[in-house]
Amino acid sequence: MTWLSDWLRELILVVLMAAFVEMLLPGKSMERYARLVLSLLVLLTLLNPVISLLKGDASSQLALAMEQAQRESGWGSGGDTGDSLQEILRQGQLLAAGSREQSLQLAAGEVAGQMQEQIAAATGVRGVNVTVALEMGRDTGGGELPVISRVAVTLPEGSSPQHAGGAEGGGAADQEAPGGRIHITPVEPVQVRIGAADAAQTAEAAASGEESAGTAETSSTAIGQQAESIVDLLVQNWNVERSRIEVKGAGGAEKS
Amino acid sequence: MEIIQVVGIGLLSTVLILVLKEQKPVFAFLLTTATGILIFLFLLGKIGTIMGTLERVAESSGMDMIYIKTVFKIIGIAYIAEFGAQIVRDAGADSIASKIELAGKVLIMVLAVPIISIIIETVMKLLPA
């Protein structure tokens, strides 16, 4: 019985509203036409149960028909809706591109973190700064895949001399002994080592000039070797092209 | 006592128009239009109140919004067409005024087309084939 009360209430409201609106109309000339539409509305409300029995919801059908009629009537609202649809689509594409950019940045951060860990695990150098740039590429068929477009590795300051010793295996005799200890906390002792090396260089400049020149050479070659090993590691693990990887020392730049 | 304001504006502008009509008929027409727009704008807020009340009542009683929308469209078309036609008629172009009224009538009838189609379809389904 609820449908009956709903229907009655709707009917009463529509009739009341029609009477009210008829009084609100401005002039005599429009009155007949407006009355026709209003009486049609009342008729539709009267027929509402029958319509819902035969065809489904009357009001939703009316809304659909109204929308269609508005779209079909060429000028004004019709053109507007087309424009706004295009506008909405354009904004949607912009939003999608923005979110894709964001997800690419997130993924790049993750990849950079993993690379950093792998470099630390493989070469023992901690504090390496890795920057990864991702872009969307069409590698496999139609689907889009994120591809690593550039990797920049910046070696921490002072790591190279330590590795110079480690990589060469020999080097100076007093470099070998701390090298074994350093494995646990690598970074700080390395810096101390540079200071010590510099101090030694300044103090015993006259005494061992040739020796200091030798260490400088070994450090530069060590950076190169280290860079090579890092590039090899990244190429092997991440399947990145060699030309896209860039390894920089703290001071000079070494590029592969 | 807003009606006094409206009548006052109307009387004042009528006197001014009567004076102006002898000297500059064009300015008299402009004054007529301006007065009409002024009164219309003054009433717009009141009409908005009525519309808002109707909408609120319909919403709270669970009536379908499509009916309300149709009714509002009828009122809007009627008001705008009537107003424009009267201004044009005041300027002396009766034929254009009647065209504007015709446009208003046609647009109101266009609103009836979906309703009529639904009713006719239902009736046709009710009838035995």
Domain boundaries, chain B: 1-45, 64-129
CA distance B105 to B107: 5
Q: What pLDDT score does B102 carry?
A: 92
CA distance B45 to A47: 35
CA distance A37 to B108: 8
Contact B50 A44 (CB under 8 A): no
- Flag whether pLDDT at A105 surpasses 80: yes
Q: Which residues of A touch B110 (CB under 8 A)?
A: 69, 73
Angle at A221 between CA A218 and CA A222, to 5 degrees: 80
Residue B20 pLDDT class (50, 70, 90 cuts): very high
User: For B85-100, what is the mean pLDDT?
Assistant: 90
- Flag whether pLDDT at A57 surpasses 70: yes
Query: Exposed, middle or buried, A199 (CB in 10 Å: 0-12/13-18/19+)?
Result: exposed
* Beta-carbon contacts of residue A107 (< 8 Å; ≥ 6 apart): A134, A146
Angle at A135 between CA A129 and CA A140, to 5 degrees: 125
> Look-up: residue for tokens 């007093």?
A174
What ipTM score was computed for the predicted complex, to two decimals? Answer: 0.81
- Which chain A residue has its CA at the smallest distance from B98's CA? A29
CA distance A229 to A251: 19
Which carries the bigger pLDDT value, residue A58 or residue A238? A238
Q: What is the DSSP string of A39-92?
A: HHHHHHHHHHHHHHHHTS-HHHHHHHHHHHHHHHSIIIIIHHHHHHHHHHHHHH
- Chain-centre distance of CA A4, in angstroms? 56
CA distance A65 to A59: 10
CA distance A175 to A181: 11
Of A9, A37, A44, the CB nearest to B118: A44
Contact B71 A13 (CB under 8 A): no
Q: What are B29's two structure tokens?
A: 């027409």
Contact B126 A34 (CB under 8 A): no
Q: How many CA atoms lie within 13 A of B47 on its CB side?
A: 16
Test mutation, B46, B50, B67, chain A, max A CBs within 10 A? B67
Q: Which residues of B touch A36 (CB under 8 A)?
A: 109, 112
Of all residues in chain B, the percent with pLDDT exceeding 70 is 99
Q: What pLDDT score does A159 carry?
A: 54
Q: For chain B, how far is it from start to end, CA to CA, in angstroms?
A: 62
> Look-up: residue for tokens 């409206």?
B6
Strand pairing partners for A246?
Answer: A152, A255
Q: How distant is the Cα of B1 from the closest Cα of chain A, in angstroms?
A: 20
Q: Which residues of A touch B127 (CB under 8 A)?
A: none
